[in-house]
Amino acid sequence: MKISGTLSGRGLDRLGDEELMALVDDKHPAAFERFYDRHSGAAFSLAHRIVGQRSAAEDVIQEAFLSIWRSQGRYDPARGSVRSWTLGIVRNRAIDALRRGSSPTRHLDQDDDATLEGRPAEELTDDEAVRREMAQRVRGAIEELPREQSQVIALAYFGGFSQSEIAEMLSAPLGTIKGRMRLGLEKMRSSLAEGLGIDEAMEALP
Amino acid sequence: MSVSEHVAGEPQREALAAYALGSLEEREAEELALHLESCEACRNYLQWLRPAVDTLPASVEQLRPSPAVRQAILAEVNADARASASPTPARPRNARVGWRGLLLRPATGFAATALALAGIAGYLINGSGGGTAHSTVAAVATGPLAPAAASAHLDRVDGSGTLVVDRLPRLPRNRVYEVWVQRGGTVSPESTFVLRRDGTANAAVPGPLDGANAVLVTQEPHGGSDTPTGPVLLRAQLG
């Protein structure tokens, strides 16, 4: 006779993201809890970058995670990794919140002590350490782009602006904006392929 | 694959880049989504480009959300789960399709060996917090060909669980292990699995396990069966 196992359903922790999502789709709270713990840090960071305020970002991830829990729109592996899919939902919710919000201009507040950048490594969880490292590498890749390209990408993705809004904002022809967006993204994609190691790092994310 | 290998022309690529960034007007996005259904070149380009967009969230300053958000979200989730758990809904027949292939990994061709199970131990440990009940039900196999070699236990969290197995016999390519929940006189399919390279596997047991008598494992043809066709190889006794 042998007793093995844990108190905390460690079996769930061993499941991959996609396996876990199948359980979340089937409405299992313990699986959802793991799912939240794996992705809430990245989700909150993205929401905060978009809406610019801690409390608004918390509302966004609460909406986004509950919509995943309750929705019929299930995870589809064809749309990328579970993390990318989740962050896509968070991004859209955050943009909606930004458009609903009263303050039209984003302000990036540095008012909280929740940033991981300034903390000693030993205070971070493994996931947080990986995320911090990733952030630095991806930022490096973005900084290599010509400024006018990284700017339109950021306005589109983090600002939720359409191409014509960006053209108006920057007083540039629409065709120019379209070109910068394409060139910038293609260049980023190519540097990923050229071994920045970001693909690998993305896969290594817990 | 590089950009030049894509057939999509420059105007299409510009539209697709904006689409990937969520920067098209709603109407344009809908039109493009429609076009994508029938245009392979555009689909390929979009798929190639997407990782660039997917890395953008990773570039932002990384923060830690407040534990209060976690509490608030999980409170709603658990309330939803409790509400839908009573009365226990019949598991939709087509729901099991979703479990097909869940944990399938390449199976290598060893002859299947029969495994009989003798020692069964049940062990219940109450979880310490949040009203979540965790328990572990363990079992030891003493089959004629692998005496005491195979081990398995069921990690149970509230109404569902994960069956964690180790050193089960490898199966031929066209066979899988299938997990069942026995409740009274009925046995319903839960999921199928094959072993990882190291001989272990985790199988989902979505349940609900409340009121169930046992979790069983049999060996079935690839794709699984609706009712068990082979002898029970593992049994985790619940009540």
Which residue in chain B has the smallest CA separation from A9? B155
ipTM: 0.81
Confidence (pLDDT) at A202: 53
Q: Do A185 and B49 touch (CB under 8 A)?
A: yes
Closest residue to B160, CB basis, from A5, A28, A62: A28
Check if the beta carbon of residue A74 is closer than 8 Å to that of residue A24: no
Contacting residues of A for B127, CB less than 8 Å apart: 7-8
Residue B133 clears pLDDT 90, i.e. is over it? no
* pLDDT of B7: 61
Q: What is the spatial distance between Cα B57 and Cα A87, in angstroms, rounded to a whole number?
A: 7
pLDDT at B74 over 60: yes
Residue of B nearest to A49 (CA): B60
Higher pLDDT, B49 or A104: B49
- What is the pLDDT, as a whole number, of residue B207? 81
- B78 — pLDDT class (breaks 50, 70, 90): very high
A133's tokens: 């490292």
Q: By the CB < 8 Å criterion, does B136 face chain A?
A: yes
B40 shares contact with chain A (CB less than 8 Å):
no
Across the interface, whether the CB atoms of A33 and B77 are under 8 A apart is answered yes
Give yes or no for a cis peptide into B87 (omega within 30° of 0): yes
Angle, in degrees to the nearest 10, between helices A29-51 and A82-100: 50
Determine, for residues A29 and B81 on separate chains, whether the beta-carbon distance falls below 8 Å. Answer: yes
Q: How confident is the model at residue B144 (pLDDT cuts 50, 70, 90)?
A: very low
Q: What HEC string does A163-187 produce?
A: HHHHHHHHCCCHHHHHHHHHHHHHH
Those residues whose C-beta lies under 8 Å from the C-beta of residue B216, and which sit 6 or more positions away, are B179, B180, B181, B182, B187, B228, B232, B234, B235, B236
Q: How confident is the model at residue B212 (pLDDT cuts 50, 70, 90)?
A: confident
Nearest CB neighbour to A142, from listed B59, B65, B99? B59
Region of poorest pLDDT, from A37-46, A108-117, B110-119, B207-216: B110-119
Residues of chain A with Cβ-Cβ distance to B158 below 8 Å are 29-30
3-state secondary structure B1-34: CCHHHCCCCHHHHHHHHHHHCCCCCHHHHHHHHH
Residues B5-38: pLDDT tens digits? 556 788 899 999 999 999 999 899 999 999 999 9
Q: How far A188 CA lies from chain B's nearest CA (Å)?
A: 6
Confidence of residue B170 (pLDDT cuts 50, 70, 90): confident
pLDDT classification of B132: cutoffs 50, 70, 90 = low
User: Locate tokens 């029970």: which residue?
Assistant: B232
Q: Is the sign of the CA dihedral B45, B47, B48, B50 positive or negative? A: positive
pLDDT tier at B97 (50, 70, 90 boundaries)? very low
Chains A, B: CB pairs < 8 Å = 258
CB A79 within 8 A of CB A85: yes
Tell whether B206 is within 8 A of chain A (Cβ). yes
Tens of pLDDT along chain A (206 residues)?
333 333 246 678 888 888 888 888 888 899 999 999 999 999 999 999 999 999 999 999 999 999 999 875 578 887 788 999 999 999 999 999 988 874 444 444 444 445 666 667 777 777 787 888 878 888 888 888 999 999 999 999 999 999 999 999 999 999 999 999 999 999 999 887 775 555 555 554 44
| pLDDT mean across residues, chain B | 72
Q: Of B39, B30, B37, give the one whose Cα is nearest residue B12.
A: B39
What tens digit of pLDDT does each residue of A148-190 get? 999 999 999 999 999 999 999 999 999 999 999 999 999 999 8
Give A-chain residues touching B62 at CB under 8 angstroms: 41-42, 45, 115-117, 128, 131-132, 135
Structure tokens given for A104 = 């039209």
3-state secondary structure chain A: CCCCCCCCCHHHHHCCHHHHHHHHHCCCHHHHHHHHHHHHHHHHHHHHHHHCCHHHHHHHHHHHHHHHHHCCCCCCHHHCCHHHHHHHHHHHHHHHHHHHCCCCCCCCCCCCCCCCCCCCHHHCCHHHHHHHHHHHHHHHHHHCCCHHHHHHHHHHHCCCCCHHHHHHHHCCCHHHHHHHHHHHHHHHHHHHHHHHCHHHHHHHCC
Tokens read off for A99: 């458009």
pLDDT at B90: 43
